[in-house]
Amino acid sequence: MHQRSNTKISLLVLIMLLLQISVPIPSLAWFSPDSNHTENKTAAVFQQVSSHDLSKLKVIPGGQTIGVKMKAQGILVVGHHLVKKSESVKLSPGKEANLKLGDTIIKINDKPVDSASQLSDWVEKAGKGKQSLNITVLRNKTSLNKVVKPVFDIEDQTYRLGIYIRNSAAGVGTLTFYAPEQKVYGALGHVITDMDTQVPIRVKQGQIMHSNVTSIAKSRSGIPGEKRAHFFKESKVLGNIESNTKFGIFGKMNEFPQYGFNQKAIPVGLSDEVEKGPAKIFTVVKGNKVEQYDIEILHVSKQNKPATKGMIIKITDEKLLKETGGIVQGMSGSPIIQNGKLIGAVTHVLVNDPASGYGCFIEWMLQDAGIGEKSLAPTG
């Protein structure tokens, strides 16, 4: 068992240049567990606001670059490797036991496990005792049991399962909104997935903090650019991370972070209020200063249930185009403002036309933050 490590923290961890029309704007890189990481154990207590109150709801638009530290539930299998059992025999016990990429290990011998050190201890103990491990994994929301017998690696002189694992994440993203009355926030606008397996990360706990943009790699056709940023003021935690959904990360935040373009709460605009035409986005391209930039909303989708890609947007601001070439990786979560209302967030960039991309509607982010949960009318 090896732990795959990525210590260079950058907004761009993997340019997803697959044969797709658009790609989400990744914000996080997996890295090995940090023994100095302070765990945030704040419980999720989201205040619910009924749907008829959304017209009165006001939130503070973000745009700040935030640092993110996150610990996953369980241990994610991200690869296989061969264990040298003898000079003539190499094998991966995990692969032979049908442990697949994207599986999340949640129990060993019916005992919860959520760290690499715990797994290593189990493997070492079983190996020395010539015993197999009963490993419980989650695969596509289904719980499965696999029996794996550790093999002694004659090169490393230790017992191994022949798998690569990860269970922590760190990086930077963009804050979308802060709801001061409920003291909750939303950021990113899309789910965070493992960069190798594309499996959504199941959050156990996490923190957000200030971050500083140091430089920009400009976008060009076929290659999305990126914001490069690093953490600063790490001792000042802004809030916790309680969920990671297809509309971003959400949690509790006791105060709005500094350097906002607008420190005052503004109304939210629901999807039926969004219209084609001019709008603004708030984002950071240098340091920690949030600025507003002009965009055009080219298309608005009609959605009666939560779905991504609610609108197609295009950057029209000459200053932003000059500095970034369009939408860059790291703008994910940048709030979209139209007619004085927060209507959504930037989520995707069109690879072959980086001045254009997608945004999601703010109401879906608010629902995932626990605000504005829509209730169904009685049917009988």
Residue 190 annotated among the catalytic residues of the structure: yes
Question: Cα(first)–Cα(last) distance of the chain, in Å?
Answer: 57
What does the DSSP assignment read for 202-237? -EEEEEEEEEEEEEEEPPBTTB-EEEEEEE--TT-E
Residue whose entry in the numeric block shows the structure tokens 């606008």: 189
The answer to whether the beta carbons of residues 205 and 74 sit under 8 Å apart is: no
Verify whether residue 332 is a known catalytic residue. yes
CA distance 29 to 230: 12
Neighbours of 159 (CB within 10 A): 21
DSSP string across 94-152: HHHTT--TT-EEEEETTEE--SHHHHHHHHHHHHHTT--EEEEEEETTEEEEEEE--EE
Q: How far is CA 99 from CA 32, 125, 168, 173, 240, in A?
A: 21, 20, 20, 32, 32
* Length of the chain (residues): 380
Q: Could you give the CA distance from residue 153 to residue 161 in angstroms, rounded to a whole number?
A: 10
CB atoms within 10 A of CB 91: 14
In contact, 85 and 96? CB cutoff 8 Å: no
* Burial (CB count within 10 angstroms: exposed 0-12, middle 13-18, buried 19+), residue 149: middle
CB atoms under 10 Å from CB of 177, counted, come to 26
Q: Looking at 80, 103, 153, 190, which residue is catalytic?
A: 190
Examine the residue annotation and report whether 32 is marked as an active-site residue of this protein.
no
Question: Of the listed 22, 332, 334, 356, which one is catalytic?
Answer: 332
Q: Which residues are catalytic?
A: 190, 317, 332
